[in-house]
Amino acid sequence: MRRALLFTALAAVVLAGCSGGGGGARLSKAELITRGDAICTKYRAKNEALNRDAPARNPTDPQATDEQVKKSGPILEKLSDNVRAARGEFADLHPPADVESDWRNTLDDLDQIADKLHAVAVAAVKLDRQRVVNEYADILRLNNRVSSFEKDYGFRVCGRTS
């Protein structure tokens, strides 16, 4: 069950990125929610598949074996790739003007999350457990900020863990 704690929480990271800033006509709030939730649904499925391949213990668990910590690295790297891909899709959306600033901040947060997931993946493979813990704490902080915005804005899939 500890595996689910880390990887489900990290999988939620990808679901938390429903913001954009691409060109074209601005979307209404309802259109943005519909399109953003479709993107989140797509990446939720991808992340659930990654979670099934995760080691029994997450790499932040002090009782995780060295092998379990190392095996989490490639999964975390794929999760980082998913965050980057989802962020790219969200960036193609053109949000309503009244949330433009919040949305740009969310895209920036997603960039940081993807970078930190990559750092966690590298640290896990190198068995740098302290860095895994430190980076993961930053990921959770960023993810909470993104998720709070999405929930408050009205997304039904993005920002939700289940």
Structure tokens at 81: 């790739």
Structure tokens at 137: 């704490």
Measured between alpha carbons, how far is residue 103 from residues 41, 67, 90, 145, 148 in Å? 19, 39, 9, 12, 12
54/4 Cα distance (integer angstroms): 8
Structure tokens at 47: 């992340």
pTM of the model: 0.86
Task: Provide the pLDDT for residue 131.
Answer: 97
124 against 158, higher pLDDT? 124
pLDDT tens figures, 18-72: 434 445 789 999 999 999 999 999 999 999 999 998 999 999 999 999 999 999 9
